[in-house]
Structure 1
């Protein structure tokens, strides 16, 4: 399960980096930056839901 969380974090960082790249290099009419940020937000939300589920089933312990 820790590997899953690490993969999500790496994917989030990759999409953030690609969004920055598209912001700098693309013309203003391109929507690739918006799509990359949408994917990043979706991955972050899914990771948050997974972490809350792990706390709920007591796989990890919250304080």
Structure 2
């Protein structure tokens, strides 16, 4: 149950970061660094989620049949 919560929380954070980058892009009109930082944060979260999924499968927290 904990792994499901972590996965959903990470996905919400990834989507939130994506929308914040869109907001920064609109407000700064492509001239600021905030968009790049938000997208870098999103990529970092995506990689972290991927690593957590792989570790969860390896240690048996995620069964072979899925969550």
Q: Unaligned 5+ residue runs, structure 1?
A: none
Deviation at 1:27, TM superposition (A): 3.7
RMSD between superposed Cα atoms in Å: 1.3
- Residue deviations 1:31-57 (CA, integer Å, cap 9, x gap): 000000000000000000000001101
Q: Distance in 1 between matches of 2:30 and 2:12?
A: 27
Match of 1:54 in 2: 56
Tell me by how many angstroms 1:62 deviates: 3.6
In the alignment, which of 24, 27, 32 is matched to residue 25 of structure 1?
27
The alignment's TM-score, normalised by the length of structure 1, stands at 0.89
Q: Matches of 1:17 and 1:28 in 2, distance apart?
A: 15
Q: Which residue of 1 aligns with 2:38?
A: 36
Q: Which runs of 4+ in 1 moved over 3 A?
A: none
Which of 10, 15, 29 aligns to 2:17? It is 15
